[in-house]
Chains A and B, each alone.
Chain A
Amino acid sequence: MEIFGLLWNEIIMRPMVNSLAILYDVLFDNFGLSIIVFTLLIRFALIPLTIRQTKQMKAMSGLQPKIKALQEKYKGKSKDARSNLSRETMRLYKENGVSPIGCLGPFVIQMPIWFGLFRALFKAVPPTPEGMANLNGLLYSWNPARSSVPLSSDFLGMDLVGLVSSQTPPINILLPVLVGGTMWLTQKTTMTRPTDPRQQSTNQIMLWMLPIMFGFFTFQFPTGLAIYILFSNIAGFVIQYFVTGRQNPFKSAGSADQPVLAAVGSGTTGAETETSDREGTSDDADAPIHRKNRRRSNRSRSRDSRSKSRRSRNRRR
C-alpha cells in the first residue's frame, strides 16, 4: 500500500503539481490560465488514446451482428457449446484485431490522470497550513515557481479553491450551466440515432441526464475543478470534431451505424457503441479513422468469404 502511495505521488502527483506551478510562473502568475493550459495539454496528449478507443469501439460495433449470431447459435446449449461460444467470440475478436477490453483500457488509463489532476489543483494552492507545509515536499527543488509560493487562487473574480456555490452570482449559476451545456454539446456531437427504439430512448436519457447530473454536482465542486471540467469538455468537443468525426450538434443525429461517443463530462471521451448491422453513409465519411475502419470492415468481409469458400471446398472433398 505504501509503495502504491509512493508511485502515485512520484508518477502522477508531483509532476502534475510542478507542471501547474511552472505554468503559473510562466502565465503571469495566473492559476486560472495555468489550469486551462494544463487541461488542454493533457487532453491533446491523450489524443492517441482517444483515437484508439474510438477505433476499438467502432470495430466492436462492426462485430456485433456476428456476435449476436454466435449467441443465437449457441443459445441454451451445453457447457461445451458455451465454451465454443467463448472460443468463437475470442477468435472473432482476434481476427478483427479487437480487444474486448480495448474500449475500456484507455478509459481506465485516463482515470488516474483525472483524479491526479483534481488532487493536484488543491495541492498546488493549498488552503490549509498542513497543505502549505506539504507543498514544500511536492515542488521539485529546481522548480522556479518555488519563489512564487503561495500561488494566488484568484481568477476573473473567482476563488478557484472556493466552492462554485459560494461564488458570487452569476458565476455560481453560470459555471454549472456551462459545464452541463458543454457536456451536452460534446455528447450531442458524437451521438447518432440507433435503429433500435429502445436504445434510442436510452441515448436520449443519457444525452440529458449526464449533463444535468454533472451540472448539479458542479455546484459543490471547487471552482478550479469546474474550470477544468469546462475546458476539458470544450477540448473534447474540438478533438472530436477534428480528429474523430465531424457532426453538427444541432442537426438531428446521423445514420444508424455510427458509433455513439458519449463524452464523459470530466473530460473523457468515453466511447459507447451502438449495435447495427448496416454499413452507413455518414457526415464523417472523410474522417481518416472512419475510412480505415471501413477498409478493415471490407477486409474482414473478404476474409470471411475466403474462409467460407475454403470450408465449402473442404466439404466437397
Chain B
Amino acid sequence: MRQFLPALLALFAFAALACTGGLSPSGGWAEPVVTEDGIFVADKNGDLRVFDQDSGRFLDSGDAFFPGDDLGVGKFYGKPIITEDAIFLSTYDCRSADCEANVIAINRNAENLNLQRRDSSGYLWGDLRPYTPPNQDPQSRGDFNRWFNIETEIVGDIALYGDTLIFGTSEIGGDKHPGGFLIALDTTPGRVDGDRIKWMFPVEKRIWGSPIIVDDTAYFTSMDSHVYAVDLSEGISEKIDTLHDRLIWSFKTDGAATADPLLVDGKLYVGDFEGSFYALDLEARIRDTTGRTLEPAGEWKFDAKAWIWAKAVVDGDIVYVATLDGDVFALNRDSGQPVWAAPAGIEGQIVAQPAIYDGPPPPSGGRPDRLLAVPSGEDAVWIVATANGQVLGKFATNSGVKASPVVKDNLIYVHTLDREFQWFSIGDRSQLGCLKLQSGERCG
C-alpha cells in the first residue's frame, strides 16, 4: 500500500482542485435583442454578434461585432442595451470567489465598428481606472481600461434611465462592500472626472435580477428577500446611500428573490425562492409602512411550491408564472386564483421569461391560438397553449436554453447554452437555421 500512497494523495489533491471547477460562471443567459439593424446576440463568452434576417447570416461572419471573447471581458448574462448612438453591455467572470464585472459602452457612430479593439475609437468612454472601494489603494486595481471595471458580479440586465445606467451587483471587492448594490453609472461620452459611479444603493445581499424602470423609479429584487422601489431622481446627494434616502418602499418576500419584477397596470408581479408569487399594488405599497403584509384589496400571493427565477408574463387578464421545477401556472390577475396549473411534459429548469405569441392560423379560419414559448434547461423551447396549459410540442434546440426566446415575423429566435443561435418556423416548428456564435458559421 505504501508505494501507492503518494500517487493516491496526488490523485486526491488534483481531484480536489478539479472539483472546484464549478466556481466560475458559464453565461449564455442573454436574451437576443431585436432592432431595425438586426438581432443582437451576446454570446456566453463575451462576443456580441448581429444577425441579419435578410441574409440569414451574422454581419461580419468572421470577427464578432464586439470580440469580447478575445478581449477577455467575461461572460454575458444580461442582454445588451441598443440605442441609436451606443451599445451598452455588461459582463462578469470569476476566479474562485474573486469576481470582476465590466460595463462596456460602444460608440455606434464610430467609423470602424468591426474592430472594437482596446485602442480603437469604437468605445464611448475614455480611459477609466477600475473602480476602487474607498478603503483600497487605487493603484492596486491595475491600469486604465476602455470600459468600466468593478470587482463584483453583474448577472441581471442593465437598464437605461436618461444618461444613467442602472444595474444590480453582488458585494464589491469581497468584504470591502458586503451585500449587494444598485448602481447608477454615468454614460456621458468621453472622459469624466471620478469613476463614473453616480450613486450606489446598498442592500443586504446580492442583486442577481434586473431592475425595471418605470417613470423615475427602479424596481428590483434582492437575495435579502426583498423587493425594492428606489427613487432614481437626480439631486439625492449621498454617493453610497447609507441613509436609504432613495428608498420609496420595500416589501419582504418569503424567500430570496432573483426574478425580475414585471410591472403592468400599476401592479408588480414577482416570485421568490420559497415558491411564493406576489401581485403588489404600487399605491398600496406606498401606503404600507411595514413592508410585510399584503393589502387585502388588489394584492395577493400564490404558492407555486418551487423556486421562481423567471420573469412572469402577462397576457390579458392572466399572468403566467414558470418555476425552476418546470411547472407553469396561469393565474387570474385580479384574484391570484389558478386558471390552470402545472402542465405535464415540460422537462428542465425554467429560468428565463417565456415569450407569448400568436400560433399559426387555424385551417378553419378564425383567431390563432395564443401560445407560450417556454425555454427550458432540457434541450427545448416548449410550446404551451395559454387556453388550457396543454403542452402542444416543442422547438427542439438540442441544447439547454436559459435566455428568453424572441418572436419576430412568424419566426422564433433562440440563443442556446451551446453557443448557437437558432431560428424556427412558428407554423410547423421546424428549425430553419442555426449559426455558431463562436465562429459565425452554420451549425453541424
Residue A314 lies at the interface, judged by CB distance under 8 Å to chain B: no
Per-residue contact bits, chain A 119-130, to B (CB 8 Å; 1 contact, 0 not): 100110011111
| Residue picked from B12, B175, B206, most chain A C-beta under 10 Å | B12
Judge whether A157 is part of the interface by a CB distance below 8 angstroms. yes
In the bound complex, what is the Cα–Cα distance between A127 and B98 (angstroms)?
Answer: 10
A236 interface residue (CB < 8 Å to B): no
Q: Which residues of A contact B12 (CB under 8 A)?
A: 114, 264, 266
**Given A161-B23, A166-B98, A270–B255 Cβ distance below 8 Å?**
no
Residues of chain B in range 1-23 having any CB-CB distance to chain A below 8 Å: 1-2, 5-6, 8-9, 12-13, 15-17, 19-20, 22-23
| Interface residue B336 (Cβ < 8 Å from any Cβ of A) | no
Please give, as numbers and ranges, the residues of chain B lying within 8 Å of A123 by CB-CB distance.
22
Identify the stretch in A40-48, A214-222, A296-304 within 8 Å (CB) of chain B at 4 or more residues.
Answer: A214-222
19 A-B contacts, Cβ less than 8 Å apart?
A114-B12, A115-B15, A122-B20, A126-B22, A129-B77, A129-B258, A129-B351, A133-B351, A136-B306, A150-B206, A150-B223, A153-B97, A166-B97, A202-B2, A206-B2, A213-B13, A217-B16, A270-B1, A272-B5
Q: Which residues of A contact B9 (CB under 8 A)?
A: 210, 213-214, 264-266
Q: Does B331 contact A (CB under 8 A)?
A: no
- A289 at the binding interface (Cβ < 8 Å): no
A221 and B17 form a contact (CB under 8 A): yes
Give the CA-CA distance A126 to B19 in the complex, in Å: 13
User: CB-CB < 8 A to A141: which residues of B?
Assistant: 305
Most buried by A among B16, B22, B351: B16
Label chain B's interface by main secondary structure. Answer: loop
Cβ contacts under 8 Å, A217 to chain B:
13, 16-17
Q: Does A104 contact B (CB under 8 A)?
A: yes
For residue B205, give the distance in angstroms from its CB to the closest CB of chain A.
Answer: 7
Contact of B97 among A163, A214, A273 (CB under 8 A): A163
What CA separation (Å) do A44 and B5 show in the bound complex?
Answer: 23
Q: Report how far A210 CA is from B12 CA in the complex, Å.
A: 12
> When the two chains form their complex, are residues B1 and A162 in contact, meaning their CB atoms are under 8 A apart?
no
CA distance A166 to B6 in the complex (A): 27
* In the assembled complex, A271 has its CB within 8 A of some CB on chain B: yes
From B19, B96, B175, contact of A161 by CB (8 A): B96
Give the interface size class of chain B: 35 or more
Q: Which of A237-287 contact B (CB under 8 A)?
A: 262, 264-266, 270-273
Residues of A within 8 A of B (CB): 103-104, 107, 114-115, 118-119, 122-123, 126-133, 136-137, 141, 146-147, 149-150, 153-154, 157, 159, 161-163, 166, 202, 206, 209-210, 213-214, 217, 220-222, 225, 262, 264-266, 270-273
- Given A222-B23, A264-B8, A270-B1, the answer on whether A128 and B175 have CB atoms closer than 8 Å is no
What 0/1 readout, one digit per residue, does chain B (356-396) give for beta carbons within 8 Å of chain A?
A: 00000000000000000000010000000000000000000
Q: Please, which residues of chain B bring their CB within 8 A of the CB of A265?
A: 9
* B29 and A129 contacting across the interface, CB-CB below 8 Å: yes
Give A153 to B175 CA distance when docked, in angstroms: 11
Determine if B325 and A136 form an interchain contact, defined as CB atoms under 8 angstroms apart.
Answer: yes
CB atoms of B274 and A147 under 8 A apart: yes
Contact (Cβ within 8 A) B16 A118: yes
A272 to chain B, nearest CB (A): 5
**Do residues A128 and B94 form an inter-chain contact, with CB atoms below 8 A?**
yes
**Contacts A130-B25, A150-B256, A221-B20; is A270 near B5 (CB within 8 Å)?**
yes
Neighbouring B residues of A214 by C-beta, 8 Å: 9, 13
Contacts of A225 in B (CB 8 A): 16, 20
Q: Which residues of B sit under 8 angstroms from A271, Cβ to Cβ?
A: 1
B208 adjacent to chain A (CB < 8 Å): yes
Other than the known A141-B305, A270-B1, what 10 A-B pairs have Cβ atoms closer than 8 Å? Answer: A104-B1, A133-B351, A149-B255, A150-B206, A161-B96, A163-B98, A217-B13, A217-B17, A266-B12, A271-B1
> Which residue in chain B gives the minimum CB-CB distance to A130?
B26
B324 at the interface (CB under 8 A from A): yes
Given known A103-B1, A146-B274, A149-B273, contact A159–B174 (CB-CB < 8 A): yes
Contact present for A150 and B274 (CB under 8 Å): no
